[in-house]
Amino acid sequence: MLNVLRRGASGPEAVSLQGGWKPAADAVWLDLLSPSRQEELAIEAALGLELPTREEMAEIEPSSRLYQANGATYMTATLLARRDDDSRANSPVTFVMAKGLLITIRYDAIRAFDLFSERAKALGVASGASCLFSLLDAVVERLADILERADEEVQQVSQAIFARPKGAQFEALLTDLARAQSLASLTRGSLVSLGRVFSFAALASEIADDPDCQAHLHALQRDGQSLSEHAGAQSGQIAFLLDAALGLINIEQNGIIKFFSVAAVILMPPTLVASVYGMNFHHMPELDFRYGYPMALALMALSAILPILWFKRRGWF
């Protein structure tokens, strides 16, 4: 599917690629979402460019992701996308600057693109370069929002771990931490990829000769670097909380084992006394003793009380 944003339009419009299609003179952005091979060939024929395939976009070598050819600048980044099953994953997105146009190629829905489309008229994008920077602003803003929400979730999990309310389910907390760690890792990977794009974008002729574009690019680089550091700190905090949760689980388990161990030791002497006087030998002095039964009960009680007092004195119970 091809969406085209024209200068001064309220947003991108879906375009049907018919034979001999050419972009309008006032077009500034061509957005290819899950394009078929026929659509790719139609765009290539109209612009005289060779667009990367999905397999080429997925390659991780910098030389395959960032390059210039035939007067066009190709930049591929991995951006955080939400899949149909509501899961999150990094998806490759290619930005192409050529002939005053911005061409984007993607295969997943990305919220930042929708946000930019809604704000296109208010932003007043007048060229492919301004469109690129406005779109990258939306991407960085979206990643910042994701990190902020993740921070709130991590803080809630932290309070739940250290408050340790009665009946707390650490399994659910560990699941929340694992999800937060996965999201932080994906966000940081996306920011690192964007950092490479920011560095390479300065080579595009539309940007290299424009001081305003250079200043905007430096601002994006600073924002991306600070967010990347924030994501790294968040990952460290999540790792600490994970270790703390596992440590508290071990403490609780040790407390349970300690209780049963102490109980077993306390019951051992009474059990020994009961076992001795439970033997059925004919010649046992206490069998004819009138107070033998109370004496055995007293011995069992005393043999249980003495270990309890000893354990309390040592702080073990």
All residues at 6 or more sequence positions from 197 whose CB lies less than 8 Å from its CB, including other chains: 66, 75, 76, 77, 95, 136
pTM for the model: 0.75
- The DSSP secondary structure of the chain, one letter per residue, reads -EEEEETT-SS-EEE---TT----TTEEEEEEES--HHHHHHHHHHHT--PPPHHHHT---HHHHEEEETTEEEEEEEEEEE-TTS-EEEEEEEEEEETTEEEEEESS--HHHHHHHHHHHHHT--SHHHHHHHHHHHHHHHHHHHHHHHHHHHHHHHHHHHH--TT--HHHHHHHHHHHHHHHHHHHHHHHHHHHHHHHHTTSHHHHT-HHHHHHHHHHHHHHHHHHHHHHHHHHHHHHHHHHHHHHHHHHHHHHHHHHHHHHHHHHHHHHHHHHTT---S--GGGG-TTHHHHHHHHHHHHHHHHHHHHHHHT--
Give the tens place of pLDDT for each residue, 258-286.
777 777 877 888 887 788 777 777 777 77
Identity at 56, one-letter amino acid code: E
Q: Is the pLDDT of residue 187 over 80?
A: yes
Q: Is the pLDDT of residue 189 over 60?
A: yes
pLDDT of residue 167: 55
How do the domains of the chain map onto residue ranges?
2-251, 252-314
Give the tens place of pLDDT for each residue, 202-254.
877 777 777 888 888 888 889 888 988 888 888 888 888 888 888 877 877 78
Give the tens place of pLDDT for each residue, 68-79.
888 888 888 888
Given a contact cutoff of 8 angstroms between Cβ atoms, the answer to whether 22 and 44 are in contact is no
For 252-314, CATH number out of 3.30.365.10, 1.20.58.340, 2.40.50.100, 2.60.40.10 equals 1.20.58.340
Better pLDDT: 111 or 170: 111
- Asked: is 2-251 a CATH 3.30.200.210 domain? The reply is no
pLDDT of residue 284: 74
What confidence category does residue 19 fall into, taking pLDDT thresholds of 50, 70 and 90? low
